[in-house]
Chains A and B, each alone.
Chain A
Amino acid sequence: MTDEGLDRRRFLGAIGAGAATLGADVADAAEPAPIAASPAADPVAPAGYQFLNPDEAAFMEAFVDHLIPADALSPSGTELGVAVYADRQLAGAWGKGARMYLQGPWRKGTPNQGWQSPMAPADLVKAGIAALDAHCRRVAKLPFERLAPDAREETVAALAQGKIELDGVPSKLLFDTLYALATEGLFADPIYGGNRDKAGWRLVGFPGVIATHAQDIETYRGRRYEAEPMSIADMS
């Protein structure tokens, strides 16, 4: 048991709450910079996870890095704070089922009837990660995060098509929920912990919050409008 993944998870488990320098692991900033020194910078997402346990965090990081790999266009999902974003959403009101009708009785329903799981999103993700972990260990004797890239791809693709039988959790629903979290984490305002340095916005050329285009709509008709993207924190 000397593989990197496990060591890292032990490390995560061991350092507990006071580990400010864990930022180095999930982001490019080793030391949180004083806000005044760099007013334009995004707020540095606090290190550590509120909801995900170390095993779940290892899965989530591997999952978002599979969807959003580091390449010439951007750092990896984890480096962009996407796993932190997912964690915060799961820990918060949305994860707990706010604005959902969660009363019984429960029936499976048809696909057209939508979400019929009795679980709130956070419970569904928790159960889903555990079920997927069991599946991976059964099939490959390894957790998802230690699968070779090809095997990960196969697993994600099968999950996306609802082709994996997971204990207690519809696999398509799990995939859709995780996929939504990953893409939200890449493209939502950085105030939620993802989209670090507005990398998601830079990727597509979305200028962010500032938007007074009454003149631009004509001036830039047919020409690319380029601007340093502005986030909520940049303007607050």
Chain B
Amino acid sequence: MATKLKPVDVVIVGMGWTGGILAKELSDAGLTVLGLERGVNRTTEPDFSVPMIRDELRYAIRHELYMDVSRDTLTFRNAARETALPMRRLGSFLPGEGVGGAGLHWNGQTYRFSPSDHRLRTRVTERYGETFIPEGMQLADWPMSYDELEPYYDKFEYMAGISGQAGNIRGETVEGGNPFEGPRSRGYPNPPLKASLSGVMYEAAARELGYHPFPRPAANMSRAYVNPDGMSLGECQYCGHCENFGCEANAKASPHITVIPAAQKNANFSLRTQAWVTRVDLHPDGKRAKGVTYTDVRTGEEFEQPADIVALCAYGLGNVHLMLLSGIGAPYDPETATGVVGKGYCYQLTSTVQTFFQDKNFNPFMGAGSLGVVVDDFNGDNFDHGPHGFIGGASIINATTHGRPIAYRPLPPGTPKWGSQWKAAAGHWYGRAASIGTQGSNMASRGNYLSLDPTYRNAFGQPLLRMTYDFTENDFKQSAFTTRIAHDIGRAMGPTHISPLAPKSSSYSIVPYQSTHNTGGAITGDDPRTSAVNRYLQSWDVSNLFVVGASAFPQNAGYNPTGAVGALAYWTADAIRNRYVAAPGPLVPA
């Protein structure tokens, strides 16, 4: 028998970026807020101390800070005709676990989606006509516009101390920034990071080709910073141990040093760790949530936590899993393309171009998670897709993130993989290589979705989430086009060797790391028949349930997601504070 606990106003499931933001905003509003986090609490001191934290094997290869898949994982298949099998070890993406979520060990590359990304279906139809949209592509608009979200993007960027160069302030183009970006109300809170040699070379080559390179917006602090909540961040040391690691200098914005301690200043916020939420409990009519049930993973004991408002902030995949486990909303059926929960799962198409310079030295170990230079000329709506026959695009990036030698050993094509020649080449080229990557969009497709697995179970005896997913023709065209541009820029840098063109051209594999940018599954929309949550990320079916995260994206853009995820979290918090609390119930008529 589960022990019933004292009710709270709001229970938040998951204490990463979205959960942390809601905790701060809703406890500021005077609500009693409880955060439940399945993982442990970690603090910069002592958990990220040097030298312990600078251990590539432990953190980057053995994934110490990530979700433990022995307890819960998902099953995967490329298409419904296959049998989904468990992801038995982490690979393609790396969900976080513990206070701070994936915000502890992210890279901090922080973009806004462009205005057209927020109204993609309308924009594509306007520009190319309805017939340009391929059969089976579930292209959709966000129900809220870029302009509506702008203040919330801004709020996230100031909270997280983003270092960057604005390209468009209130409609005025600013030299050196991204001229394609949507208008921002003000510049970034911190100047850009210092450029690396490869960044300087990439920028020059891209400009020469007529493109518009700009410094990648970074949650790595270019200088010490105190955010509007009074939280202090340190100056980035370009230590090359960012992604996969906690930052010992507090120089990478993370929930555990920003929004969560800010919420903890409020006596009406409390945090319970090692509390694994297994379901949302519903009232008999199925229209309202009673609260959640969780297991204390230290003891195995079960608890019922009643709450007036339930916020799922369990990472996009976790949100969808919990909705399906709790019977909230109609599960999506790809046969009939009806139902909404699990619909619109998207990912990203990435590719790399490696350049090698006989007479250069890049000191690759001097890097920061977000250090890089970006060309956005072939992303979103920034170019004419007409001749190319696909929707979407990619940011094309030179990155200087790390030179950790288990993972980072670039070798020119044709180099042996072992033996004396391999050793010599590994030593020779380590400091002489620069890379360019594409981060491409991914459109929702009828056959790509999330559901419950019929066979495999997690440690709590519950069905695993099942992912049915593959890249589509549209996305392969996108990758071919943008990878060629990346390759051209690479050649313009004048390298001694360059890797061959290698766009994404084969079906999706769950094995190699690509990105932790899983989106969709509980998408936002104007119509309860085609979306799981309304414009305030409120469930259409259960009105006191808010589902926050990239699960709400109708499709994925050619950017990292967290700028948009953070904006959505602030937007939702605002709607709960200023709309829902005054008049609980559906905020948008169904």
Residues of A within 8 A of B (CB): 66-69, 71, 73-74, 94, 97-103, 105, 107, 109-116, 153, 156, 160, 179, 182-184, 187-189, 191-192, 200-201, 203-209, 211-214, 216-218, 220-225, 230-232, 234-236
Contact = CB atoms under 8 A, between A and B. Distances in A.
Contacts of A156: 418
11 contacts: A66-B418, A67-B422, A69-B420, A73-B420, A100-B70, A110-B82, A114-B509, A192-B57, A203-B426, A222-B361, A224-B363
A208 B51 CA distance: 10
Contacts of B240: 211, 213
B423 A74 contact: yes
Nearest to B428: A204
B63 A99 contact: yes
A105 B453 CA distance: 13
Contact of A68 (B56, B239, B418, B455): B418
A208 to B, nearest CB: 8
Interface string B49-72: 011101111000111000011100
B427 A99 contact: no
A124 to B, nearest CB: 12
Interface residues of B, number: 66
A153 B416 CA distance: 12
B403 A206 contact: yes
Most buried by A among B406, B420, B427: B406
Interface stretch (B2-10, B194-202, B278-286, B311-319): B194-202
Interface stretch (B73-81, B117-125, B339-347, B496-504): B73-81
Given A101-B73, A217-B238, A205 B89 contact: no
Contacts of B87: 101, 113-114
B389 to A, nearest CB: 26
B238 A216 contact: yes
Contacts of B91: 114
Given A101-B87, A211-B54, A216 B363 contact: yes
B82 to A, nearest CB: 7
A184 B70 contact: no
Interface string B483-508: 00000000000000000000000011
A183 B70 CA distance: 25
B365 A217 contact: no
A221 B431 CA distance: 12
A101 B69 CA distance: 6
B508 A112 contact: yes
Most buried by A among B70, B73, B85: B85
A100 B89 contact: yes
Given A114-B509, A213-B366, A68 B51 contact: no
Contact of B86 (A67, A101, A209, A216): A101
Contacts of A98: 70
B61 A225 contact: no
A221 B420 contact: no
